[in-house]
Amino acid sequence: QVQLVESGGGSVQTGGSLRLSCVASGYTDSIYYMAWFRQAPGKEREGVAQINTRGGQTYYSDSVKGRFTISQDNPKNTVYLQMNSLKPEDTDMYYCAANTGQLGLALHPGTYGRWGQGTQVTVSS
């Protein structure tokens, strides 16, 4: 099994930056992709960024492209989400997710079988 723990959330003003971290533990050799999702109460979970943990290729949603950067530190089993130029509409609970072989779309929640507990990001105007 893979366990994921996120950290780094907080409150910032519009235009500010935050860096989220996700540490994976357990059978990490089984991970093919890692991704970040976000979700507000009553809304669907939205995928924002994905990274291929074996090749480093990245993929972003249009809503964050050019502002967010996903990266990884393999020796530390950690994936990061650097968020710049934050907007109030980026306010959400952010979740880290791991794909261990499930087939599906890059930013679809069903593609990921393991999830972290989430970290809150709040952007004020």
pLDDT (0 to 100) of residue 103: 86
The Cα-based distances of 56 to 43, 59, 73, 77, 108 in angstroms read 30, 10, 10, 13, 19
pLDDT (tens digit, 9 = 90+) per residue, 71-108? 999 999 999 999 999 999 999 999 999 999 888 899 99
pLDDT (tens digit, 9 = 90+) per residue, 32-57? 999 999 999 899 999 999 999 999 99
Q: Closest Cα to residue 106, out of 53, 34, 44, 55?
A: 34
